[in-house]
Structure 1
């Protein structure tokens, strides 16, 4: 008796005895589609699509990961890795071996060194909880429920980014199982090529079991949100764009156009309303300048104003992203300088009268993000001034409407686009051209060359894939 999967037109059979043997080697569950726990094990934050592997391994530690990778390579199967499953919209795949790292917990804070070691299954909210008593903060994102490892190794654009740079810029070491089944502790000193590639190349070079990161001396920020009625969207966005050209590196912000559904779970002031939400995170050594910096935005008359001093551990309240799994489709593009024409173009397709409801967010880049990392890495598109993200919930519109609507937005905004994309926001895009656009051209070539060294068979390909370079004939 065997279990089979089909890949590239070829049927690959895996004997049941081999699966049973693997199950004896690992402490976590080893499940096939016939197992009743299979669906729960492969589920993630994105519920529109899930991996449907031939085999899913719920790893409890590095040894389980090594066994799973060795099994996969021995049977010619591709490997996918999943922690929280936020990116499944793009990378959900059929077949292969899925390694679920969500059980791999643990946060070890070294307060004197200003660092933390973090397990592969840890989310940012846990790190915030552990680091706050030490008076330190991680370079976490806007959503505390996102997994640390994939966010960081995909770049990591968060609430402190304009002051400190990408989260990937502050990785000290990476524990990773490569395609040969070897567990490596990778640092700049031990393996500079692989260390460079992992920070930006995400899961293309192995299954990461833990990372060591820098922490920042931040306990409190000046932050929150300003909510404006959609009727003033043009004035608000015009002002916001001009304002971003004047602020110091300590100010990280974004502007979002949001069409809220009319549901009881929302505050009465937001139900069924289309708004502009300005998100603010000012992280300076002295926060007193925060009030004066946001004065030009406040002068526009928000109907709700939540700005004030905020413990960084509570910074997830700024964006207030949904904490429950959901179905969504999204896309992204990096932008250069913007003007009033760009605002009118965007509002024409994503404003209150758009036929498909979206969340359209414009994040201000620059500052430390625009400068090279002290220890170079593969994160690309550092010259972009903004990143535009478009997210649509499938509960509110059909996918057949959403994709063309997204295409219209990105085609119309193309005159202001750099042509690049932000890897961590590519939840609805996975083709080769899109992946290449997340990197500078020379860096992408180097990534393919390093891939050829550590994963020549492209075992780790059920992702935003970087294929191995083909040797010259």
Structure 2
């Protein structure tokens, strides 16, 4: 059916309508969103209409751009899809970009490149820029420039009262603080303005080893020691991936257990800095090189096709290499459980600097991310005991990397941040209309 407001024809879909299932399709296929009403928004006016519709009826409302970070399945209520809102506008003079709610990072990288600029995007070009940033945004060059949320200039948001607000740090410091780190708890961001950085090229890539020929725990131990020697501007991660034996994969990856160190660095001495890593053993693959920033997604080569996955994360004050080594054994290819991908990000640097937003755990030194395929119960059977090994040094979880496997909100914020967010939730959304994502409860 079509809902008509004063300015646009707004497509509204209900279960059984042609196009309903296609509208809901996203990157995550492991669980279903089955809202009673879908508003396929093309403008801020469409979002206003959807929020007012939900508010007048007391219905829960959520938002979906690409469907990467869904917290789980849901039934009923209202869902606003924003994939049609895909305008990107670069201002090279101010080194900023304005992105609408449905824009993906690959679009922003392509739009900024002609001006010698780059956004603080993550590893996957298909991820939505707005949701990523509202959750913090741990990017490819994070240790040099901090979280993406730290660079937001302004946000346009439809709050639960159906108002479109232009929010800056100066105009509304409380709401600005809450939005950047608080996810989709305070309304639907229709557009944001974010700073770009003057980066055209970087030294990056992956140094990979065969995890059956070298000890993954030994590589991890050497990696942790190496991170203590590198400059703040070098961003890196360790990964362990048991690849299935599938024809679609490159021959050198099929059926292998690949242990890698990924690098992203804008300095000129990258080759010297990674030299100790090259001494760890014969490389299965070495893609480290100077590259245009537009090729930075090749550092991680994340899957670009929709699939089912479950995952969680742990921000650590320190990396207990013995416990992490045991974790690798428990989730590795010989453990007998579902395929589990391990990634350990080196934090610190600019990430540790204070900022006027609600991104928590800036004191963390590492982030451990586990991602499984298969069903949710099998995922929990792997993830729960694995994260229990890290409990003594675990500060909390990261909102960007909570993928439907665990508690929706537990551990996502420290106590002080959670208290302030809950107070602001009571002010801006006392009816808790926005509870379809990683929802905060009002005080």
Query: 1:440 is matched with which residue?
Result: 414
Aligned ranges 1:11-26 → 2 under 5 Å:
26=8
C-alpha distance after superposition, 1:46-69 (max 9, x if no partner): 011121100001000000000010
How much has 1:28 moved relative to structure 2? 3.4
- Which residue, 90, 95, 104 being the options, matches 2:85? 104
In structure 2, relative to structure 1, the CA distance for the partners of 1:253 and 1:317 (3 Å cut) is same
1:204 is paired with a residue of what secondary structure?
Answer: coil
Query: 1:185 is matched with which residue?
Result: 166
C-alpha distance after superposition, 1:304-343 (max 9, x if no partner): 1000001111111010000111011111111122244123
Query: 1:428 is matched with which residue?
Result: 404
8 Å contact from structure 1 (residues 206, 460) kept in 2: yes
8 Å contact from structure 2 (residues 15, 37) kept in 1: yes
Query: 2:361 is matched with which residue?
Result: 381
- Which residue, 269, 293, 297 being the options, matches 2:277? 297
8 Å contact from structure 2 (residues 62, 435) kept in 1: yes
How much has 1:282 moved relative to structure 2? 0.9
8 Å contact from structure 1 (residues 345, 413) kept in 2: no
1:205 is aligned to 2:186: yes
In structure 2, relative to structure 1, the CA distance for the partners of 1:340 and 1:387 (3 Å cut) is closer
8 Å contact from structure 1 (residues 22, 68) kept in 2: no
Query: 2:258 is matched with which residue?
Result: 275
How far, CA to CA, are the matches of 2:325 and 2:233 in structure 1? 29
8 Å contact from structure 1 (residues 154, 202) kept in 2: yes
C-alpha distance after superposition, 1:223-261 (max 9, x if no partner): 000110113212211100101111111111111110001
How far, CA to CA, are the matches of 1:28 and 1:265 in structure 2? 40
8 Å contact from structure 1 (residues 221, 311) kept in 2: yes
Query: 1:246 is matched with which residue?
Result: 229
1:414 is aligned to 2:381: no
TM-score, normalised with respect to structure 2: 0.96
Aligned ranges 1:95-174 → 2 under 5 Å:
95-174=76-155
C-alpha distance after superposition, 1:387-417 (max 9, x if no partner): 11111122xxx44322111111111222332
Q: Which runs of 5+ in 2 are unaligned?
A: none
How much has 1:277 moved relative to structure 2? 1.6
- Which residue, 249, 272, 276 being the options, matches 1:266? 249
How far, CA to CA, are the matches of 1:97 and 1:25 in structure 2? 21
Number of aligned residue pairs: 439
How much has 1:300 moved relative to structure 2? 1.3
How far, CA to CA, are the matches of 2:180 and 2:305 in structure 1? 28
How far, CA to CA, are the matches of 2:72 and 2:45 in structure 1? 25
8 Å contact from structure 1 (residues 188, 196) kept in 2: yes
How far, CA to CA, are the matches of 2:69 and 2:427 in structure 1? 26
C-alpha distance after superposition, 1:87-134 (max 9, x if no partner): 12x243111110001100111111010101001100000000000000
1:203 is paired with a residue of what secondary structure?
Answer: coil
1:29 is aligned to 2:3: no
How much has 1:25 moved relative to structure 2? 7.0
- Which residue, 285, 300, 303 being the options, matches 1:319? 300
C-alpha distance after superposition, 1:336-364 (max 9, x if no partner): 22244123312221233121221011111
How far, CA to CA, are the matches of 1:92 and 1:352 in structure 2? 29
In structure 2, relative to structure 1, the CA distance for the partners of 1:243 and 1:260 (3 Å cut) is same
Q: Which runs of 5+ in 1 are unaligned?
A: 1-18
